[in-house]
Amino acid sequence: MLKTILAGAAVALGLMSSAVQAQSTVDEIKARGVLRVPGILNEVPYFSKDPRTGEWKGFVIDMAGDIAKTLDVKLEVVESSWANAILDVQSGKVDMAFAVTATPTRALSVWFSEPTYFNSFVLVSAKAELEGKTWAELNNDQYTFAVDLGSAQDLIATQYLPKANMLRFKTRDEAIVAVATGKADGLVNTMLNGLVMTKKTPDLGKVVVPTPVLSTPSVVAINYGADEVWKSFVSGWAAYNRRIGNNQTWIVNSLEPFGITLDDMPEGFGFGG
């Protein structure tokens, strides 16, 4: 009987401890008064920072701002980079990171929410001969493609274009220059980046969508040590706003300054997956 009572007490204490712990992340953010997210310079439509006022804009800022509003706290943007955003989450420098492409390797480092939206991998090219081709047809040593090293698009290029000549650069800008100067037939990237690139630099060509369409979930990255209530909240927020179209609206609004609308999206592409 005593063992049963002690076992029951242990379970009750465990549940109470879990309940207290489950509130710790939200309580910490509310006590701090700010929600911290990484921001990356010159990464439209995700992020942009006004050099005069220091104000951040972009659809990631709109998404993060909505979560901050829900929690009744202010949004704090911590300047970072794509390479460091995951490290910022791991170290606790930020509370979450948006626009993270969910890959198995990254899943070893941080916890992923439900997708906020889906992006697709594309080519940016001025060569008409690349249009209408499959990934299998492009997987040929007669083609040379450029990609930014270590990115999600680099992983896709490695998997689907192993026979093609691949030029890998430390930065996306270097990869863009390779295409613009004719050193590469096309740039492997994502739909959102491709649409903005071609509007800003028409000489790069157009967005080409090889088939089958390869869509990838964009998620919110959370520290694995965060409590389950916080993880559930963020994941629920992501799924809800994706399904009712809020996330798409924020993304489309961020594309408007470049003259990009939903009509510019290739057939078969959808932010909802």
CATH number at 85 reads: 3.40.190.10
Q: Is the pTM of this model over 0.75?
A: yes
Query: Quick check: is 5 in a domain?
Result: no
Per-residue pLDDT of the chain (273 residues; tens, 9 = 90+): 555 545 555 555 554 454 444 458 999 999 999 999 999 998 999 999 999 999 999 999 999 999 999 999 999 999 999 889 999 999 999 999 999 999 898 999 999 999 999 999 999 999 999 999 999 999 999 999 999 998 899 999 999 999 999 999 998 999 999 999 999 999 999 999 999 999 999 999 999 999 999 989 999 999 999 999 999 999 999 999 999 999 999 999 999 999 999 888 877 677 886
Query: Quick check: is 15 in a domain?
Result: no
Q: Which residue(s) pair with 20 in the sheet? A: none
Q: 197 phi and psi, to 5 degrees?
A: -55, -50
Instruction: Give the span between the Cα atoms of 99 and 119, in whole angstroms.
Output: 10
What is the distance, to the nearest Å, from the Cα of residue 177 to the centroid of all Cα atoms in its chain?
Answer: 23
Judgement on whether residues 113 and 232 belong to the same structural domain of the protein: yes
Contact 190, 75 (CB under 8 A): no
CA count, 13 A, side-chain hemisphere, 271: 22
Tokens standing for 254? Answer: 């961020």
Judgement on whether residues 110 and 33 belong to the same structural domain of the protein: yes
Judgement on whether residues 223 and 189 belong to the same structural domain of the protein: no
Range of the domain at 69: 24-117+217-264
Judgement on whether residues 113 and 227 belong to the same structural domain of the protein: yes
Judgement on whether residues 111 and 180 belong to the same structural domain of the protein: no
Instruction: Give the span between the Cα atoms of 168 and 216, in whole angstroms.
Output: 21
Query: Quick check: is 270 in a domain?
Result: no
Judgement on whether residues 161 and 234 belong to the same structural domain of the protein: no
The tally of domains found in the chain comes to: 2
Per DSSP, the three-state class of 13 is helix
Q: What is the pLDDT of residue 271?
A: 85
Judgement on whether residues 94 and 203 belong to the same structural domain of the protein: no
- Going by C-alpha positions, the residue among 106, 97, 103, 109 that lies closest to residue 121 is 103
Judgement on whether residues 208 and 183 belong to the same structural domain of the protein: yes
Q: What is the pLDDT of residue 19?
A: 47
Q: What is the pLDDT of residue 83?
A: 84
Q: What is the pLDDT of residue 7?
A: 53
Q: What is the pLDDT of residue 21?
A: 47
Judgement on whether residues 149 and 97 belong to the same structural domain of the protein: no
